[in-house]
Structure 1
Amino acid sequence: MKPHIAILADFDTTKRPRPHRMIESLKSMAHLYVIARETSPESGARCFSFPAPTHNAQTRTKEQNEKIRSLCEQGDFAPLIYTKERECIPTILRSLPKLHLIIVEDIVLLPFACDYKRESSGGKCRKDENHNSCKILVDLREFYPLEYEDPAWLSGLGKLFSHLCTHYLPQADACLCVSEPIAARYEREFGVKSTLYYSLPPFYNLSPSPIESSTTPASPLRLIYHGLISAERGSTNLLELARLLGSGYELSCMVLSNNTDYLAHFIRQAESIPNLTILPPVCLEEIVPRCNEFDIGVISLQDSSFNNKNAMPNKLFEYIQSRLCVISTPLDSLRTFFARYPVGRVAQGYGAPELARAITSLSCEEILEYKRASHTCARELSLETNAQKARDLVRALLD
């Protein structure tokens, strides 16, 4: 009999790689139910949507921010968890067939999973209390108590996320985590062990594209950056990188941002740089084939926070699947990864000059060797590997 599994997410799962690919991994072995904010249909799952909040970090008034800070200082977190937009979640959960597992893709929704587990097991919610009760699997995409590290956030919403980790996270039956250092910190601070689970894209039957500049001297090397841009990510480095590289290189940026003003400013600045092109974003399934035509994938993330320093970015694995050479800032996690999978190099520093030197130091043959290395490990670092890991973990939880 197929188990009944619900996935809780505080965003549209079709626009986020990890939950979308988790659904792909499990849909053949389970009855899936997706309960997500403003969700779109997912193949192989029944989907239920709840609305986005009326205000977000950009649009909240000073008074609204002060109210949030006050609630957090008082330790009154319930109004921030059980919002009016989410009040339908318990009703949806109760309307479903008895659930065997809830996968929580955003920790702010973990209390809803714990409440359901408590109700379904007669008021008990310890993970070892009732073998037949609903199990909970949490995907720890980052170290949530340090999602932002500025003092205002830490003294406000940071307290909420610390509360979620202290009070609710130990009630989970299993956790996934994006990198080993982040997993180690969760274990050290909250006593929670995690399974390493990279954000691996589907396997694409592609080959490394030829490097045109090696056969046509007038053709520039082609670089791509895709993903979120923001001030804390040091994304203006991309603008300076294009200027420093000059006419022998073309940098294309396929960018999104949670801050519309920042995105507009970035695009305006890019207009004056001849070898920088802004590309329109594409859906998840199109990222890898779209990037295959390029030579080098750029990761410009800064070590400005614990999460940044220890990240394993989605774009890393998408660049590999696109059969690119990868050039990155010297994040600890990437340095370790490149020692095992020689698909690229890290720069000597985090600034645009260091990134530019790392790129210009590469010969066409070296770039092609890295592209071939990405080709060699593309199947291992694909959804095929993750899907089996996810199915094995679910079977072990439900056994």
Structure 2
Amino acid sequence: MPGHALVVSHTNLQRDPRVRREVEWLTAEGWSVDTVGLGPAALDGVREHFEFRAEKPWLRFMGTKAFVHVFLPQKLKFTVLFGHRIAREMYRKLADDSYDLVLINDIVLLPIIQHLPRTAARVHLDLHEYFPPHLGKHLRGWWLGTPLRKWTRRFISDARIRSRSTVARGIAELYRDEFGVPEPQLIKNCPPREDLSPSPVDSDTIDLVYHGAAAWERGLRCLIDAMGKLPERFRLHLMLVASHQGIDEVEAAIAPLGDRARLVPPVAVDQIASRINEFDLEVMFYPPTTENLRFALPNKLFEAIQARLGVVIGESPMMADVVHTYGNGTVVSGWHTADLVAALSHVTPNDVRAYKQGSVAAAAELNAENEHKKFLALVSAFDN
């Protein structure tokens, strides 16, 4: 029978669909679940929630934080920056080997497994995306944080980790090759299956949609620029999550397009597929400037599939595998605005209808219910 599980994440679990699904899957199978995360609210069915305490006021000064990074050994540095923010009761339970499964969702918190007995192979590590050894050089003080980051990554191959998972095959291969561990299992970020049908396709209009974070590095700028060069039959709908400044920047960028581009109010995660179902094609054009963008297999791809939309992607190999398997979209050759314009200009209403039917087939397989089965197969070994 399932036992006691601890699910650890450095996110707000209420807003993290992947971690929330993990908790729901475990509780549905009879696991008694404790959680660690940001925010006070526990998910339904959780026995005990350990909320991250606020950072110590003296750590909010750049000079103090720089002192910690430069002069403290890595283990103490982790304790000062992260470890002290978690309740001692959680550490006591780890030391007593009270959990049958410890599910870690953030590599920055992976060092807490030091509190487990060395012989306790109790940990499942969900690696999510690739966690590079260096912080991005665009971040202030990136060089100060890199030593702690490298030390933290060493725990990826710790013997207390019994199994690993990630979001895309290319990322799993990176971890396998770098750390010499068994290739992590693939658990895709698929939402639950939606009972939707493709919306009708207008012979005179093709409605494009982009939903998610207003991140310029994810091809948003290229998409907006492409709209200025596409035929009049194309319209763009942007359902974005961003700061007020980010939204202002997008509004300024689309202003020259007039009524051919508009912002759509965002909705809750579980409403995305039904909300965007009225559109035709979701555009995901991610220039491969990082390993995570190169191997991107994003939530929005599967949300678009559940919405029964066609998809337009760049030469991202993980997404291209899906498109080639189901015939639910087109792959743009090249990473320039002109390439995106050329590919979209050749899409006909009949193509859109065919792509949407491809997503009908894909939606039956690429859903949370099927990922649930794979996840349970992974953690089933922990309950005996």
TM-score (norm 1): 0.84
Counterpart selection for 2:330 from 318, 324, 345: 345
SS at match of 1:244: coil
Structure 2 CA distance for partners of 1:342 and 1:156, relative to 1, 3 Å = farther
Counterpart selection for 1:155 from 136, 139, 143: 143
Worse-superposed segment, 60-69 or 358-367: 60-69
Structure 2 CA distance for partners of 1:327 and 1:4, relative to 1, 3 Å = same
Deviation at 1:267, TM superposition (A): 3.2
- Aligned match of 2:27: 27
Q: 2 CA distance for matches of 1:86 and 1:69?
A: 16
Deviation at 1:84, TM superposition (A): 6.3
What is the aligned residue count?
A: 375
SS at match of 2:286: coil
Please give the residue correspondences for 1:97-136 in structure 2 after superposition, counting only pairs within 5 Å: 98-112=98-112, 114-118=113-117, 125=118, 129=119, 133=120, 135-136=122-123
- Aligned match of 1:121: none
Please give the residue correspondences for 1:377-388 in structure 2 after superposition, counting only pairs within 5 Å: 377-388=362-373
Deviation at 1:300, TM superposition (A): 2.2
CA contact (8 A) 1:325 1:344 kept: yes
Q: 2 CA distance for matches of 1:251 and 1:320?
A: 18
Q: 2 CA distance for matches of 1:39 and 1:347?
A: 44
CA contact (8 A) 2:93 2:99 kept: no
CA contact (8 A) 2:82 2:109 kept: no
TM-score (norm 2): 0.87
Structure 2 CA distance for partners of 1:184 and 1:168, relative to 1, 3 Å = closer
Q: 2 CA distance for matches of 1:267 and 1:75?
A: 47
Aligned-partner residue type, residue 79 of structure 1: K
Structure 2 CA distance for partners of 1:260 and 1:142, relative to 1, 3 Å = farther
Worse-superposed segment, 193-202 or 328-337: 328-337
CA contact (8 A) 1:81 1:108 kept: no
Q: 1 CA distance for matches of 2:14 and 2:134?
A: 22
- Aligned match of 1:183: 172
Q: 1 CA distance for matches of 2:230 and 2:135?
A: 32
Structure 2 CA distance for partners of 1:5 and 1:185, relative to 1, 3 Å = same
Q: 1 CA distance for matches of 2:75 and 2:14?
A: 29
CA contact (8 A) 1:35 1:89 kept: no
Long gaps (5+) in structure 1: 119-124
Long gaps (5+) in structure 2: none
SS at match of 2:190: coil
Aligned-partner residue type, residue 50 of structure 1: F
Q: 2 CA distance for matches of 1:64 and 1:94?
A: 29
Structure 2 CA distance for partners of 1:81 and 1:346, relative to 1, 3 Å = farther
- Aligned match of 2:254: 270
1:362 pairs with 2:341: no
1:174 pairs with 2:163: yes
SS at match of 1:302: coil
Please give the residue correspondences for 1:225-264 in structure 2 after superposition, counting only pairs within 5 Å: 225-245=210-230, 247-257=232-242, 261-264=245-248
SS at match of 2:347: coil
Per-residue deviation, residues 264-292 of structure 1 (Å, max 9, x unmatched): 32233334432221122211111111111
Deviation at 1:227, TM superposition (A): 1.2
SS at match of 1:298: strand
Deviation at 1:260, TM superposition (A): 6.0
Structure 2 CA distance for partners of 1:68 and 1:236, relative to 1, 3 Å = farther
